[in-house]
Amino acid sequence: MSLVQTLKENFSFLRYLEHEKLKSIRINGRVIDLGAKSEDERYFKYIQKDNIEKIDFCDIEPKSPRVIKLNLEQPFPVGEGIYDHVLYFNVLEHIYNYRNLVNESYRILKCGGEAHCIVPFMWKYHGDPDDFNRFTHTALYRKFSEAGFLKVEVLPIGGGFWTLIASLFSQKVKIWWIKYLIIRLFLAVGSMEEKLVGKKSSYALAYIVRAIK
């Protein structure tokens, strides 16, 4: 979906950037989506899917009967080495006992399976039901490594001072096309700065993690 369409549907600039990043994810086999709310989460439109055997959807507050009720703060009632892919997008920040989520996602993955996680960084407090954590890229690397993952890749989503400004300003207005103009303006400034003074990678709006067991 384009930036215009994303804003028209009242989603944030960050959500647009996340969707763009999701296009690089490829899933297959047996998949579990932790913190899914419903089975038709829009992010599945962007992920590449090959030979999906089954996707289990889980949440503490299911909005559909096909979503399994699961408290991510506690050990999961799921066997070891079951899944090829574990997904948790915009969930880790809401889990006070975040180590449980990372460790359990490792445990339920098959060897060679992958965990895919998106977690906001430069983003407002948003209780769902609460909001506890913001992690730097190095913290994410260490937390996933310490859980046992053999390879951990962390990439920023929306890095740079002007992207942050675009994100913040766009949240202050309600009309989609003004948001659009604000975002385009500050992205242009950021792009010009990048050409003039070199690339700056700080101020990520979020991070995406790919961790392989």
Partner 1 sequence: MITKILSGLRTQKKSRVEEKQLLEVISYIKRNPGLSIVDLGFNVGRIYKEIRKENTVSPYYAFEIQKDLVELARKIEDPNLYIIHAAATSFDGEVKFFEPKSWSKNFKGGATIHTGKNNLNDEAITVAAVNFGAWLAQVRPRSTKYFIKVDIEGAEYELLESMVKEKQLDPVEAVAVEWHCTKLGAENEAMYTARKNLIKLALWENGIKYFEWF
> Under the criterion CB under 8 A, does residue 201 sit at the interface with partner 1?
yes
Tokens 């709310």 label which residue? 37
- Measured CA to CA, the distance from residue 199 to residue 123 in angstroms comes to 21
Q: Does 155 bind partner 1 (CB under 8 A)?
A: yes
Q: Which stretch binds partner 1 (CB under 8 A): 32-40, 103-111, 152-160, 174-182?
A: 152-160
Taking CB under 8 A as the rule, does residue 26 contact partner 1? no
36 binds partner 1 (CB under 8 A): no
For partner 1, how many residues bind (rule: CB under 8 A)? 18
Give the Cα-Cα-Cα angle 63, 82, 78 (nearest 5 degrees).
55
**Least Å distance between CB 138 and partner 1?**
4
Q: Residues with Cβ < 8 Å from 188, sequence gap 6 or more?
A: none
Alpha helices, DSSP H, located in the chain: 3-8, 13-22, 98-107, 137-146, 161-170, 176-197
Min dist. Cβ of residue 140 to partner 1 (A): 6
Identity of the residue, 139 or 181, whose beta carbon is nearer to partner 1 in the bound complex: 139
Site for partner 1 contains 153 (CB under 8 A): yes
Nearest approach, Cβ of residue 154 and partner 1 (Å)? 4
Which pair of structure tokens corresponds to residue 129? 């039901």
CB atoms within 10 A of CB 45: 11
Asked if 99 is part of the footprint of partner 1 (rule: CB under 8 A), the reply reads no
Cα(191)–Cα(63) distance, rounded to whole angstroms? 41
Site residues for partner 1 per CB under 8 A? 137-142, 145, 152-155, 195-198, 201, 207, 210
